[in-house]
Amino acid sequence: MIIVMSPSSTDEDLKRVENAVESRGLRCHLSKGEERTIVGVIGDKKQISQLEVNMLPGVEKSVRITEKYKLVSREFHPQDSVVDVDGVKIGAGHLTVMAGPCAVESEEQLMEAAKCVKDGGAQFLRGGAFKPRTSPYDFQGLAEEGLKLLRKAGDAYGLKVVTEIVNQNDIDLIAKYADMFQIGARNMQNFQLLKEVGRSKKPVLLKRGLCATISEWLNAAEYIASEGNMNIVLCERGIRTYETFTRNTLDLSAVAAVKELSHLPIVVDPSHGTGRWQMVQPMSCAAIAAGADGLIIEVHPHPEVALSDGSQSLTPKNFNATMDKVRQIANLMGRE
Amino acid sequence: MIIVMSPSSTDEDLKRVENAVESRGLRCHLSKGEERTIVGVIGDKKQISQLEVNMLPGVEKSVRITEKYKLVSREFHPQDSVVDVDGVKIGAGHLTVMAGPCAVESEEQLMEAAKCVKDGGAQFLRGGAFKPRTSPYDFQGLAEEGLKLLRKAGDAYGLKVVTEIVNQNDIDLIAKYADMFQIGARNMQNFQLLKEVGRSKKPVLLKRGLCATISEWLNAAEYIASEGNMNIVLCERGIRTYETFTRNTLDLSAVAAVKELSHLPIVVDPSHGTGRWQMVQPMSCAAIAAGADGLIIEVHPHPEVALSDGSQSLTPKNFNATMDKVRQIANLMGRE
Amino acid sequence: MIIVMSPSSTDEDLKRVENAVESRGLRCHLSKGEERTIVGVIGDKKQISQLEVNMLPGVEKSVRITEKYKLVSREFHPQDSVVDVDGVKIGAGHLTVMAGPCAVESEEQLMEAAKCVKDGGAQFLRGGAFKPRTSPYDFQGLAEEGLKLLRKAGDAYGLKVVTEIVNQNDIDLIAKYADMFQIGARNMQNFQLLKEVGRSKKPVLLKRGLCATISEWLNAAEYIASEGNMNIVLCERGIRTYETFTRNTLDLSAVAAVKELSHLPIVVDPSHGTGRWQMVQPMSCAAIAAGADGLIIEVHPHPEVALSDGSQSLTPKNFNATMDKVRQIANLMGRE
Amino acid sequence: MIIVMSPSSTDEDLKRVENAVESRGLRCHLSKGEERTIVGVIGDKKQISQLEVNMLPGVEKSVRITEKYKLVSREFHPQDSVVDVDGVKIGAGHLTVMAGPCAVESEEQLMEAAKCVKDGGAQFLRGGAFKPRTSPYDFQGLAEEGLKLLRKAGDAYGLKVVTEIVNQNDIDLIAKYADMFQIGARNMQNFQLLKEVGRSKKPVLLKRGLCATISEWLNAAEYIASEGNMNIVLCERGIRTYETFTRNTLDLSAVAAVKELSHLPIVVDPSHGTGRWQMVQPMSCAAIAAGADGLIIEVHPHPEVALSDGSQSLTPKNFNATMDKVRQIANLMGRE
């Protein structure tokens, strides 16, 4: 950390800052500029908080230099990680696609969707059995009945199953049916839930929060990793901005950022990321061209009757066309 | 809901939309403009989702006209609500102040803080025993030990206790020691936690999420209310914007908005809302002038050694000065 | 500036950075931490750009420590400035209110408005003769005819006139009729226009840009000041965020920020800042309580027929009620 | 426009709204729902403003249904436009690349850059002679001297020249040397400048404003078009969000949005859009995969000595590698 003293600070103020730093086993390194004195703090960054420093008299501001996450950083693990979900690999040159309806609604719907997902060439069936909804009066999902249907459809078509967990007490229940947990955007900083999936060793798909910085997202991944579970796949799904034409603003530069800062695989969700089915194909192509390891796409056999998120679902026909294009780009980018 | 047909839509498209609406027991009302046909949907708004409508062929867009929350709306309950926390009233003309350290650190610290909170004239002691922290390596709170200290300090100085709940399984534990639950910004859409505090009947302080719209915030309150708990106090604590000088952007217009849309009381947190102790006094005055029912302020007897959020804590001396000013403004605005 | 070297940087990289810094007459100060080496740059901050430094091999990032604006900074001029507009003072304990219709529409409208502005106790008549509009098909203002009406109404009621300039070639034209230039939000970084009003010596009301940081805003003021015109009043008018209930998010913490960073007076525009007339009174009160030196408010004698921005205009009756409340708070805060 | 009456509105309120609408030659279409009455406004949308409607008693809110821009809309002109810049085509299947240094610094620098731009296969040389800078103390460009160098370098290597105009009075000066005007992000709503370049018939590259919605951007293009100049190319260059790792958030979904809403070509600026040279290649690939008609990239022969924006410039070697990849993707996407 760098502590910037204000131009009007006194020697006594500086002394007080040095004492505060040194009392925690850290060292100070002074740099006297023409207008300001700057104190560099040397040592274990966990020992002092940026915020407490700011209240010391004479301190103008402090600037954090290094990130707190470690296990998920590329500095710690320079090679790309590969997450193995019961034989299906994510990361390091593989193209992985997860697809399916937003919510599981019925056996018929899910079986049809799973067939279409398999036909398109995806490896994972996605679908929500527990839905986090803005209003308590919206459809909340089929719960365990939905999980059973997901497993059945996954087995019938040879697809892995990924589904969202919203309640920390459902770990065992969901682990019984699914191959991979999904942590949704709204729960990205539900630290209790992160710790629970960290203690399980099942792979986790960690979506970026609606207004999470890349740093906060990687710190959330660190919560999972620090409990012993390194099977983490990140998922960019759009951030909240002032623009209202799209549901969210899909931040594809986050793909490049994650590749620079971390070794974890990253997939992109163009369905939630834009909220418009017309944009799913162009944004899928763009995501893979940007370096993403895969996609998670909403596909609905009959989107006109979907109970939720219909506006961002692809029809089977559009899904196939998207997959064709995506495979060509992945191939060009050196992915299988 | 209003459904806008695209200029190139066909009569068949329109028929399909009408069928979709009517098949759910709703009625359509057509309005043919010069460029576009608009379909008004009449009936129970829960029956059809805006998103599913958008995928029907020929639909350009749909616009929601009414909000989904009901119990917390002013339309449903025109008079201001008063939340009674074991004899201390929040709302409708009362000025309520909650103050204390960000995190409970030790008995000595908390007792000193409680004395200062009481001396300043606040009614509630606040302090975190369970802290949601961005990094797993940051101080996570004293847990039950912290709760015991809060209760002890509250009792010693005749203050109510409000503290954050981050784990749905801690309801009984926290209820044993605290007078009011706090739901933090990161958990505003942790729907499982909202339902749990809704089933308890204890008062709840519901902070606005970091990037929550006012509508989402009131829908979150509706989750609590729909489980039977109407003892809800909203708390504006700053939203995330592009500005970096302040930690968040305190949105005081949210106070006026809540007063228009809802009957629930609202308090303001200028400490987290700005992240700068220098701004706590002006923003406290502004919040009360804008119509807020109270404040929640970080006070630290020795902020220079605070383990978290020191930069936004007031010293006892500043807290007293702030309280003096705030009381004068509250008085002017007709609050006790 | 602080330059952070990456953990994998070499001695050669460091040497190259030192050379780049020193070749511009600046000095380096090294600080070797446990994980990273940090280079402090000492000397005139104009000589090297943060951005060019970032491309040097081995540089992880750079952090700017000091701001580039000088003349408008409190460091440069510790006392509050007072801007004198032909006898009416803004800043340092005065309460200044500017009010009037969004756009000048007719003599009748403006005379009525001016009467109401005067009756309410404001000192300035505001109104647009040149309107910057999102669409070329919206009403663009009465141009010189509007200016003449403003002058006439101002003279008739003893009010100063402030009006927006959108075209750098209109300086002389507007100076002929108005007492103060207004630079609108969309032109806050129209540097050519800033320089032109800087060369004139007439007072300038500089609105904050829709998504301008406080630092960019003060740098925009510096453009005016550096041309020799120190008669600058800042105006907070809401920033663009994800929230859609209000037209913009009024950032009252910017008032406290400006008071800390600069000596210039600051007024607040609750009309554009919220876009809702219902919020004008509470936000006016809040602005003054936060420390603002004044307000700029839209008042319309018959808002139901306003040609622009009607939804945020006050009726004369509401304006009077707002002024009463505002004066009481200003009085309490020690302003006349 | 749709006007939503509040549940508590009276018949008299409704009558007043109908009168206001009809007095402007528009017609009303009533739709009485269970909770609210909705008034559809039929006729020329220019006649009444959404904002003025909102102040009428009993009006809860109004919702705009159609956009105001017309000439630039796809509805008006269903086929993709091609902009011809003196023989070089932009749009409809062509891949156009503009490259060069951020600012023109010297003849030597520019000639070297132009050679590298040509060698990489780009068609346009870009470079700033007039630079809009946040601080008045930053380098403001070489002015006419810079324009002359641009023309000389363009001619020497057979490249078209595109350069930014920041002063409406420089139209003739810049037209003398450049083949295409660039309107920068900060001037996207400098309506005077838009009108001036609209009156000239020279092609215009219109960058999206820092926090402009897609609708505002297309309305800005409409300003140019409505003056008679249809030679407009849009440029997505990143928007301002809360994320700080990148300089801006490059919004590639804007490419898909523009393709849906407008017939104008669109190029992407990954250099300003991310502010990090490491991201230029992945984001260039992503932009073309998303459907962009071209790119504008900062290339600097010796980025370590660039006077501005060095951190986002590519070296010649990286530029060539980027162009190779981009061409392959363009080819796959059916562009030449």
SS3 category, B189: coil
**Structure confidence by residue, pLDDT tens digits, A214-225:** 999 999 999 999
Which residues in chain C touch residue D311, judged by CB atoms under 8 angstroms apart?
Answer: 50-55
Are the C-beta atoms of C185 and C210 separated by less than 8 Å?
Answer: yes
For residues C44-54, give the mean pLDDT.
66
Instruction: Please list, in sequence order, all residues whose beta carbon lies within 8 angstroms of the beta carbon of residue C24, skipping any fewer than 6 positions away.
Output: C47, C48
Chains contacting chain A through 3 or more C-beta pairs under 8 A: B, C, D
Does residue A245 belong to the interface with chain C, where contact is any CB pair within 8 Å? Answer: no
Which residues in chain D are contacts of A250 at CB distance < 8 A?
Answer: 251-253
Contact C31 A29 (CB under 8 A): yes
Rounded CA separation A212/A183 (Å): 14
Is D164 in the C-facing interface, judged by CB distances under 8 Å?
A: no
C77 has pLDDT over 90? yes
Radius of gyration of chain B from Cα atoms?
A: 23
pTM score, whole prediction: 0.92
Cα-based angle D67, D69, D72 (whole degrees, multiple of 5): 125
Q: What pLDDT shows up at residue A44?
A: 66
A63 in contact with chain C, both atoms CB, cutoff 8 A: yes
Helix, strand, coil fractions of chain A, as percent rounded to 5: 40, 20, 40
On whether any CB of chain B is under 8 Å from the CB of C329, the answer is yes
Out of C29, C35, C42, name the one closest to residue A66 (CB).
Answer: C35
- The nearest alpha carbon in chain D to B243 belongs to D242
The structure tokens 């026909």 sit at A317
What is the tally of helices (H) and strands (E) in chain B?
11, 14
Residue of chain C minimizing CA distance to A241: C242
When pLDDT is cut at 50, 70 and 90, the band that residue A193 belongs to is very high
Given a cut of 60, whether residue A280 has pLDDT beyond it is: yes
| CB-CB under 8 Å, B282 with C286 | no
Structure tokens, C297: 């408010």
Question: C42 — contact with chain A (CB < 8 Å)?
Answer: yes
3-state class of B16 per DSSP? Answer: helix
Please give the pLDDT value at position D312: 74
Q: What pLDDT is recorded for position D46? A: 62
Q: Say what the pLDDT of residue B59 is.
A: 84
Partner-chain residue, chosen from D53, D169, D304, that has the shortest CB–CB distance to C56: D304
Chains A–D, number of C-beta pairs less than 8 Å apart: 112
Distance of CA B102 to the CA centre of its chain: 17
- Whether B63 and chain C come into contact, CB under 8 Å, resolves to no
* pLDDT score recorded for residue C55: 67
Chain C interface includes A228 (CB < 8 A): no
- Cβ neighbours, 10 Å, residue B60: 17
What does the H/E/C string look like for chain D? CEEEECCCCCHHHHHHHHHHHHCCCCEEEEEECCCCEEEEEECCHHHCCHHHHHCCCCEEEEECCCCCCCCCECCCCCCCCCEEECCEEECCCCCEEEEECCECCCHHHHHHHHHHHHHHCCCEEECECCCCCCCCCCCCCCCHHHHHHHHHHHHHHCCEEEEECCCHHHHHHHHHHCCEEEECHHHCCCHHHHHHHHHCCCCEEEECCCCCCHHHHHHHHHHHHHCCCCCEEEEECCECCCCCCCCCECCCHHHHHHHHHECCCEEECHHHHHCCHHHHHHHHHHHHHCCCCEEEEEECCCHHHCCCCHHHCECHHHHHHHHHHHHHHHHHCCCC
Q: CB under 8 Å to B172, separation ≥6 — which residues?
A: none
Segment D273-315, tens digit of pLDDT: 999 988 999 999 999 999 999 999 999 887 555 545 556 778 8
pLDDT score, position B47 = 64
Q: Closest Cα partner for B214 from B47, B50, B72, B51?
A: B72
Q: Is the Cβ of B20 closer than 8 Å to some Cβ of chain A?
A: yes
Q: By the CB < 8 Å criterion, does C33 face chain A?
A: yes
CB contact under 8 A, C253 and B253: no
Residue A266 distance to chain D (closest CA, Å): 14
D24 CA to chain A: closest CA distance, Å? 30
Task: Check B38 against D241: CB less than 8 A apart.
Answer: no
- The reply to whether residue D65 touches residue B4, judged by beta carbons under 8 angstroms, is yes
Inter-residue contact D203 to D230 (CB < 8 Å): no
Q: What is the pLDDT of residue B296?
A: 98
**pLDDT at position C108:** 93
- List chain B residues with CB under 8 Å of C290: 282-283, 285-286, 289
In this predicted structure, what is the pLDDT of residue A47?
65
**pLDDT digit string (tens) for D253-273?**
999 999 999 999 999 999 999
pLDDT in tens, A313-328: 788 899 999 999 999 9
Q: Which candidate from B38, B66, B211 shows the least CB-CB separation from D35? A: B66
CB-based contact, D46 to chain C, within 8 Å: yes
Residues in chain D with CB shorter than 8 Å from the CB of C14 are none
Residue D129 C-alpha from the chain's centroid: 20
Q: Is D189 part of the contact surface with chain C (CB cutoff 8 Å)?
A: yes
CB contacts of D215 in chain A (<8 Å) are: 245
Contacts of B303 in chain A (CB under 8 A): 52, 55
Is C93 within 8 Å of chain A by CB? no
Reported as a single tens digit per residue, the pLDDT across D209-238 is: 999 999 999 999 999 999 999 999 999 999
Q: How confident is the model at residue A63 (pLDDT cuts 50, 70, 90)?
A: confident
Please give the residue of chain A at the shortest CA–CA distance from B133: A191
Residue B311's pLDDT is: 63
What integer pLDDT is reported at residue C208 of this predicted model? Answer: 98
**Distance from C-alpha of C141 to C-alpha of C129, rounded to nearest angstrom:** 5
pLDDT (0 to 100) of residue D17: 87
C283 CB within 8 Å of a chain B CB:
yes
Question: Is A196's pLDDT higher than 60?
Answer: yes
Per-residue pLDDT at A309: 55
Question: What are the φ and ψ backbone dihedral angles of D264, each rounded to 5 degrees?
Answer: -75, 150
- Which H, E and C letters describe chain C, residue by residue? CEEEECCCCCHHHHHHHHHHHHCCCCEEEEEECCCCEEEEEECCHHHCCHHHHHCCCCEEEEECCCCCCCCCECCCCCCCCCEEECCEEECCCCCEEEEECCECCCHHHHHHHHHHHHHHCCCEEECECCCCCCCCCCCCCCCHHHHHHHHHHHHHHCCEEEEECCCHHHHHHHHHHCCEEEECHHHCCCHHHHHHHHHCCCCEEEECCCCCCHHHHHHHHHHHHHCCCCCEEEEECCECCCCCCCCCECCCHHHHHHHHHECCCEEECHHHHHCCHHHHHHHHHHHHHCCCCEEEEEECCCHHHCCCCHHHCECHHHHHHHHHHHHHHHHHCCCC
As beta bridge partners, residue A207 has A235
Check CB contact under 8 Å for B243 and C214.
yes
| Lowest mean pLDDT, pick from B288-292, C138-142, C171-175, C239-243 | C138-142
The residues with which B88 forms a beta bridge, in sequence order, are: B85
**Positive/negative CA dihedral, A83, A87, A92, A94:** negative
Q: Rg (Cα) of chain D, in Å, rounded?
A: 23
Question: Model confidence at A77, in pLDDT bands (50, 70, 90)?
Answer: very high
Looking at residue D60, its pLDDT comes to 83
Query: Would you call C244 an interface residue with chain B, using a CB distance cutoff of 8 Å?
Result: yes
Question: What is d(CA D29, CA D18) in angstroms, rounded to the nearest whole number?
Answer: 9
With b for 16 or more beta-carbon neighbours within 10 A and e for fewer, the A174-213 pattern comes to: beebbbbbbbbbbbbbbbbbbbbbbebebbbbbbbbbbbb
> C296 and chain B: CB distance < 8 Å anywhere?
no
- Please check whether residue C305 touches D, CB under 8 A: yes
Give percent above pLDDT 70 in chain D. Answer: 94
* Chain D interface test: which of A243, A281, A325 (most D C-beta within 10 Å): A243
pLDDT in tens, chain B (336 residues): 888 888 888 888 898 888 888 888 888 888 887 778 888 888 766 666 666 677 677 888 887 777 889 999 998 999 999 999 999 999 989 999 999 999 999 999 999 999 999 999 999 999 999 999 998 988 889 999 999 999 999 999 999 999 999 999 999 999 999 999 999 999 999 999 999 999 999 999 999 999 999 999 999 999 999 999 999 999 999 999 999 999 999 999 999 999 999 999 999 999 999 999 889 999 999 999 999 999 999 998 875 555 555 567 788 899 999 999 999 999 999 886
Residue of C42, C63, C241 with shortest CB distance to A63 = C63
The reply to whether B2 touches chain D by the CB within 8 Å rule is yes
Q: Closest chain D residue to C55 measured between Cα atoms? A: D311
Q: What percent of chain C has pLDDT above 90? A: 69
D189/C223 touch (CB, cutoff 8 Å), yes or no: no
Q: What pLDDT was estimated at residue D125?
A: 98
What average pLDDT does this structure show over C39-53? Answer: 71
Which of C243, C239, C247 shows the shortest CA–CA distance to C207?
C239
Q: Per-residue DSSP letters for A46-109?
A: GGS-HHHHHTSTTEEEEE--S-S--TTBTTT--SPP-EEETTEEESTT--EEEEE-SB---HHH
Single out the residue of A246, B243, B235, D244 nearest to residue C239, CA to CA.
Answer: B243
Check residue A242 and give its pLDDT.
96
**Chain A residues with CB inside 8 Å of D282's CB?**
255-256, 259, 289-291
From D225, D143, D224, select the one nearest D188 (Cα to Cα).
Answer: D224
